[in-house]
Amino acid sequence: MAIETGEINALLGHGTDFAGKLTFEGTVRIDGRFQGEVFTHDVLIIGEGAEVRAEIDVGTLIVKGGVVIGNIRARDAVEIHAPGRVLGDIASPSLYVGKGVVFDGRCQMRGDDGENVCRPEGPGAEHVGADPVPPGMPAPAGPSDGSLPPRASYPSAPPMPVAAVPPPPAVQAWPPVQIVPPPIQAGKRR
């Protein structure tokens, strides 16, 4: 999935460090460091090497790399491409998460009218969700309207350099590891 972004109107390039409130029209790309708030009805692109700590309210967000720490609200779509990392909650009617991406947060997919856009379609769809809790099972805890309970906002955390977030550990597939329990000594009970 790739959204056509058109011409880039502004660029915060590598080595740029900006804090504050960013509002714009058109397409803006951030490749440096940004902390604050972003508001637009258009497109924000986060490039590789970028570190963005912000509450983001945009039309479309495209994360091509770098780190985004903060909550995201997108009216149209959110795309996260490897090696991008997003630490925060996402609210958008459309979400693309590529292989190799790190996303730590919650996602809520609702349309502009507030209705859940993840409705089943096709034959038999009218029966899906008719009885969300099987008979004899307790109802799930949480708000009855299906919304998510509030969660702490990530931007309040102290600044953290991008290098401080380690990559996931490599998986060692060979040689196989055998776990052997220690021998139990005679006469001792656990």
Query: What is the per-residue pLDDT for 9?
Result: 81
Indicate the pLDDT class of residue 121, thresholds 50, 70 and 90: very low
Sorted by where each begins, the domain ranges of the chain are 9-115
Which pairs with CB-CB distance under 8 Å and at least 24 residues apart come from 67-72? 67/162, 67/165, 69/154, 69/155, 69/157, 69/160, 70/153, 70/154, 70/155, 71/105, 71/153, 71/154, 71/155
Query: What is the per-residue pLDDT for 38?
Result: 94
Given CA atoms 5, 112, 37, 105 in this order, what sign does their dihedral have? negative
Per-residue pLDDT reduced to its tens digit, 67-100: 999 999 999 999 999 999 999 999 999 999 999 9
**How many CA atoms lie less than 13 Å away from 150 in the CB half-sphere?**
2
